[in-house]
Chains A and B, each alone.
Chain A
């Protein structure tokens, strides 16, 4: 319940603010032609990024787990790297080398590269744990080879891929930095623009509600893709892993496909940063300032991750074990914040914290809370998938063996731990890169790497921003790297 309230808090604010527009103002705003072109642009971008991530991500995951692609273990680690590079840094870096990259295609390319790991990592884990025996059962039951794969293997992999694609799509929906830098006019871009004017907050709130509506639609689609089946199994038999496919000459295009997003989303941006660094700047680097920002970044993102984890534990477990409108609504609600640009969530927490806990205004507590609102879905998805794969009978068995309910529940928690860890790491790695909400809500004097970087890019001191950007990529690589190791993402 707390989790839902938490995730729903921006909605309260958005409704209050939109209501102030009045019926006429609201109709006036909604009927503006530009609104619909922005919404359409957002829808097209989200659809393109989601499809790209779903298709390319699944293929890459398959290449990295079920083929003999040379160096595939190494590639799996490397393919997580774009997670460590904020997409606005990637966009900025690309633009500083190729200034003409503007509009839909570059935005699509950068966002897709940045979001691919959300699909690749969990899908690869699902494929590693997949049981080929089910395909053989389907064959034995009279299915043709294709149908057997569709019925035996796809259901084992699709939930992970779809959940990842949903995260990618929501990211593309809410992201402001990349489209703004690359001049592709989408809805978050329009929302940000409203804040420049006196009445803008109300109009921005209404536009943000359009984003939320789009997000709800996406969550419903994903739920449909996930279906209603139970996904746990017990039994002593070892699963039959997939046979590794020899690629032959196909290894060349396969390697290109695997490498491309890494180059677009991580390698080239980092080269760009080094280039900026080499150009030099008149400002000398203050190491203690850099270290402080590093510590602050780690602290607030870990705090946000921890709180998100606790709340996601409840929502994810409920979603895995129970069906029904209430649980479905609760789970969908937890996704609302993720569809909103940071500034909207930031302002909504300004509004709420000043009314509810004024003493905590501009404290780490409220900032961590903002991260929870923004990134809770990442943890919820991971917790849900991993809890769903733990047979509920185990907790029941523990119960009959004399453990009380809570201790019996721990059996499930322990088995689901790797997936839960993955959820925690996902929140941490994203919170590290967060900028707009952090700018508004941080305690005075607390500078994260992202805010320090921001304060340097806005002036003509972009060279001075490079060390902070590099430090951010470096520190965010840690959770990104751990995500490739956490064995379970595993559904099992």
Chain B
């Protein structure tokens, strides 16, 4: 009976087989395409850039760079941590020429692995010395300040803590939003440890955890929770609120920001930055473009981050970068994430 039912399906076999052949051709195509790419290895190679930042933000700038210089840029986007894992896995064989990182820690780790090449002084000297590598293995591109964000419908400005220590106060029980697994929070904890020691940082994390905070995946989730009134305080980076205002209009954003006191662990200013990973002749040109007047102005206008080159105005409404004093001198100290992640883990926040 099965037989009689199946026999009329003979033509479908033909169809399926020809479909398979077509698919085989497709895969073969894919293969040869990439082989061509491999063959073209030589002088006219496109500049391969691993970007650990949003395509929406960085894409237009890289396009602009390509148009102005005629350099062909091949940008690959993924999260900064994914890229770090990928780069460490690829090692010497990485096709990447430049890495644009979302934070200083990943650049420090890359540099510690010996993958970042020394940059010429004219690039590293272009930016404020507090906001770049101390050994010239990578360069800071933009600054991102940690802030205590609050919803003014729930909290008076005068009541808002100005140090992270106050955030663990009983009155904020269950009202604080954090993104403890996010790279920006991990960097903040690393800065905390570097400035005040592992024990102090661990004790603060325990106190925060004991205060029943609400945890989120990313800064924008914390911001959304602030906007929705799910939390009243949030520890985030400054520009998220600005970007949201740019997206939906300033009048539609309730959240306000407080910049913690100078020297407070919560006042960390982390940087995004770039490292050169190969001898590609155009790699340094891209990095130098990022710290040029044009590149810096682009970031100010579209990402609301701090420029790191003197003479470029910060986004309107922000306190001056030089007035913000973070807890640490050398941002490379942010590379030591291991213990931070372990501490966050142990506190039960992850």
Give me the interface of A with B, judged by CB distance under 8 Å.
32, 34, 99-100, 180-181, 183, 185, 190, 193-201, 204, 233-239, 279, 281-283, 299-300, 302-303, 305-307, 309-310, 343, 347, 350-351, 354, 358-365, 367-368, 389-391, 394, 413-415, 417-418, 421, 436, 439-440, 443-445, 451, 455-456, 458-461, 463-464, 492
Q: Mark B277-291, 1 if CB is under 8 A from A, else 0.
A: 000000000000000
Closest to A347 in B: B89
Question: B75: which A residues are within 8 A, CB to CB?
Answer: 444
Closest to A306 in B: B23
A185 touches B95 (CB 8 A): no
Given known A-B contacts A193-B181, A347-B85, A358-B93, A394 and B3 have beta carbons under 8 A apart: yes
Q: Does B216 reach chain A (CB closer than 8 Å)?
A: yes
Give me the interface of B with A, judged by CB distance under 8 Å.
1-3, 5-6, 9-10, 12-13, 16, 20, 23-24, 26-27, 29-31, 33-35, 37-38, 46, 48, 54-57, 74-79, 81-82, 84-86, 88-90, 93, 95, 109, 112-113, 181, 183, 186, 215-218, 220, 224-225, 228, 230, 240, 243-244, 246-248, 335, 337-338, 341, 345-346, 350
Identify which of A34, A194, A364 contacts B33 (C-beta below 8 A): A364
Question: A359: which B residues are within 8 A, CB to CB?
Answer: 34-35, 38
Identify which of B16, B56, B95, B341 contacts A362 (C-beta below 8 A): B95
Identify which of B16, B248, B335 contacts A421 (C-beta below 8 A): B16
B31 touches A440 (CB 8 A): no
B82 touches A195 (CB 8 A): yes
Identify which of A303, A436, A458 contacts B26 (C-beta below 8 A): A303
B30 touches A364 (CB 8 A): yes
Complex Cα spacing A282 to B252, Å: 15
Given known A-B contacts A239-B1, A417-B12, A443 and B247 have beta carbons under 8 A apart: no
Please give 14 more A-B residue pairs, beta carbons under 8 A apart, in addition to A198-B113, A439-B77.
A198-B109, A306-B23, A343-B82, A350-B90, A363-B31, A365-B30, A365-B31, A390-B2, A391-B2, A439-B82, A440-B78, A440-B86, A458-B218, A464-B56
A235 touches B181 (CB 8 A): no
Question: B350: which A residues are within 8 A, CB to CB?
Answer: 34, 185, 190, 193
B186 touches A196 (CB 8 A): yes
Question: A436: which B residues are within 8 A, CB to CB?
Answer: 82
Given known A-B contacts A201-B89, A235-B1, A361-B95, A100 and B230 have beta carbons under 8 A apart: yes
Question: A283: which B residues are within 8 A, CB to CB?
Answer: 56
Given known A-B contacts A198-B113, A414-B9, A415-B2, A347 and B86 have beta carbons under 8 A apart: yes
Question: B181: which A residues are within 8 A, CB to CB?
Answer: 193
Complex Cα spacing A460 to B57, Å: 10
A200 touches B244 (CB 8 A): no
Question: A361: which B residues are within 8 A, CB to CB?
Answer: 34, 93, 95
A445 touches B74 (CB 8 A): yes
- Which of A238, A300, A364, A421 is packed against the most chain B CB atoms within 10 Å? A364
Closest to A281 in B: B247
Given known A-B contacts A198-B338, A299-B26, A456-B56, A99 and B230 have beta carbons under 8 A apart: yes
A34 touches B34 (CB 8 A): no
23 contacts between A and B (CB under 8 A): A32-B345, A183-B215, A194-B341, A196-B341, A198-B338, A199-B338, A281-B247, A299-B30, A306-B23, A343-B82, A343-B85, A347-B85, A359-B35, A361-B93, A363-B31, A368-B30, A413-B13, A418-B9, A439-B78, A456-B55, A458-B79, A459-B55, A460-B240
Complex Cα spacing A204 to B84, Å: 14
Complex Cα spacing A238 to B5, Å: 11
B88 touches A201 (CB 8 A): yes
Q: In whole Å, how far is B332's beta carbon from the nearest beta carbon of chain A?
A: 13
Complex Cα spacing A305 to B81, Å: 30
Q: In whole Å, how far is A105's beta carbon from the nearest beta carbon of chain B?
A: 17
Identify which of B56, B89, B95, B230 contacts A351 (C-beta below 8 A): B89
B225 touches A99 (CB 8 A): yes
A444 touches B10 (CB 8 A): no
Identify which of B76, B93, B345 contacts A354 (C-beta below 8 A): B93
A364 touches B31 (CB 8 A): yes
Question: B35: which A residues are within 8 A, CB to CB?
Answer: 359-360, 363
Complex Cα spacing A413 to B13, Å: 9
Q: In whole Å, how far is B107's beta carbon from the nearest beta carbon of chain A?
A: 12
Complex Cα spacing A390 to B1, Å: 11
Given known A-B contacts A302-B23, A417-B16, A439-B78, A455 and B56 have beta carbons under 8 A apart: yes
Question: B240: which A residues are within 8 A, CB to CB?
Answer: 460
Question: B34: which A residues are within 8 A, CB to CB?
Answer: 359-365, 443
Question: A238: which B residues are within 8 A, CB to CB?
Answer: 1
Given known A-B contacts A365-B34, A459-B54, A198 and B82 have beta carbons under 8 A apart: no
Question: A418: which B residues are within 8 A, CB to CB?
Answer: 9
Complex Cα spacing A279 to B224, Å: 15
Question: A195: which B residues are within 8 A, CB to CB?
Answer: 81-82, 84-85
- Which of B3, B46, B225, B337 is packed against the most chain A CB atoms within 10 Å? B3
Given known A-B contacts A238-B1, A303-B23, A303-B27, A198 and B244 have beta carbons under 8 A apart: no
Complex Cα spacing A197 to B26, Å: 38
Identify which of A99, A199, A299, A367 contacts B228 (C-beta below 8 A): A99
Q: In whole Å, how far is A474's beta carbon from the nearest beta carbon of chain B?
A: 21
Question: A365: which B residues are within 8 A, CB to CB?
Answer: 27, 30-31, 34
Question: B85: which A residues are within 8 A, CB to CB?
Answer: 195, 200-201, 204, 343, 347
Question: A185: which B residues are within 8 A, CB to CB?
Answer: 350
Question: B13: which A residues are within 8 A, CB to CB?
Answer: 413-414, 417
Question: A235: which B residues are within 8 A, CB to CB?
Answer: 1
- Which of A305, A413, A459 is packed against the most chain B CB atoms within 10 Å? A459
